[in-house]
Structure 1
Amino acid sequence: MNLKRLGISLFIFFAFAKISIAQEELTGPLIEDFGNTISVPNPDLAINLDEDYQVVFDIAKAPDDPTSLNSHFNTAARFLNMHVAAGVDKNRLKPILIVHGSAAFGLLKNEYYKEKFGIDNPNLALLNKLHSLDIPVILCGQTAGTRGISAKKRWEHTILALSAMTALIHYQNLDYALISF
């Protein structure tokens, strides 16, 4: 009986050991300090390395805690990092962020974010890294108007659209896949 228990215990140990070795947390390779991912060796749904990954992220919510990075902005970094780590050429990755609702405050310049929330804007470092990779960040003009986010107050690389709806339709008509939060 003890041999049977030992065998089962060893089986369980090695089964879980394989899982923990097989999946590890990764940083980068494209955007360091943001967008950490988990490795997925040999996924059942294979990645097409010859495909363009055009995606528009519909981002409408801010975190409850204004000291926190907007996790939806960070998801764009995860998208980039995980696909490059999986072997997709970075030039085949074409994400676009469309920001509206409470998420729009994450696009405030630091001085205006500090004026509103009393702290530095935790999103700016990531937004600047996305900009350095030519990732467009588009703000809904309707949200900007109703929330008082003038051109003077916005992060300098913000692109203004008539509305989030207009921008979402535009990019979906160009065959961008929609990821909505």
Structure 2
Amino acid sequence: MRRIIFISLLLFSVQAAAVDLPNFASGPLINEYGKHTAAPSTSVGESSKFKIAFDVAKGAEAGEVNRQFDSLARFINMHVAAGVPKENIELALIVHGRASMDLLDNVTYQKVHSKDNPNIELLNILMKNQVQVLLCGQTAGAYEIRPEQLVEGVIVELSAMTAHALLQQQGYTVNPF
């Protein structure tokens, strides 16, 4: 039992500490988000090409940045830092479930959470870096989210399943969370 408790505490402290590790930095492309550390790799470089869909259903706590959205910034930063040309990285963020609330414009988000939406800046940066942000239309219907209530640039697709199927036809793989 002690061993289980020790391992649990160790894993928790490593996860909590990973947020502010001193050898993690943002950039070189997205300076405000996407902290990463240098790591040796013999398989990633100038000729690498990525087409990846990130599926996110878990919403952030009210008033906090969705850490899974930040993962796309981290993916971009660490691969550009490793020598992959920016134009060789094509990402899509497919959002459904509670994470849909993190796509709301500030006015709508404030009505729901009584706080500003801290995800807007990150979403805008991701979209400026050619990331497609897609909301599941079925989730939008379930939560009564109208397209005009979303951060500008977010696309509503028929469903998350549809978005994944269409992206797979274009050669995207799925990044598991």
Given the two structures, how large is their TM-score scaled by the length of structure 2? 0.84
Q: Which runs of 5+ in 2 are unaligned?
A: 1-21
- The correspondence of residues 113-132 of structure 1 with structure 2, limited to 5 A, is 113-132=109-128
- Residue of structure 2 aligned with 1:173, choices 166, 169, 172: 169
The corresponding residue for 1:58 is 55
Partner SS state of residue 124, structure 2: helix
Aligned residue in 1 for 2:107: 111
Query: Partners of 1:98 and 1:150 in 2: how far apart?
Result: 17
**What count of residue pairs does the alignment treat as equivalent?**
156
Contact 1:161–1:167 (CA under 8 A) maintained in structure 2: yes
What secondary structure, in the 3-state scheme, does the structure 2 residue paired with 1:81 have?
Answer: helix
The runs of at least 4 consecutive aligned structure 1 residues that moved more than 3 Å come to none
Alignment-mate amino acid for residue 50 of structure 1: S
Structure 1: which 5+ residue stretches go unaligned?
1-22
Larger radius of gyration: 1
Q: Verify the 8 A CA contact 1:26 1:39 in the aligned structure 2.
A: no
**Which one-letter code corresponds to 2:70 in the other structure?**
N
Amino acid corresponding to residue 116 of structure 2 in structure 1: D
Residues 123-171 of structure 1 show CA distances to partners (whole Å, capped at 9, x for unaligned) of 0000011121221100100000110110221111111100000001111
Q: Which amino acid aligns with 1:54?
A: K
Instruction: Tell me, yes or no, if the aligned pair for 2:45 and 2:82 is still in contact at 8 Å.
Output: no
CA RMSD of aligned residues (A): 1.3
SS of residue matched to 1:157: coil
Q: For 2:23 and 2:86, locate their aligned partners in 1 and report how far apart those are by CA, in whole Å.
A: 22
Cα drift, residue 49 of structure 1: 2.4
Larger deviation, residues 73-82 vs 48-57: 48-57
**How far did residue 113 of structure 1 move?**
0.4
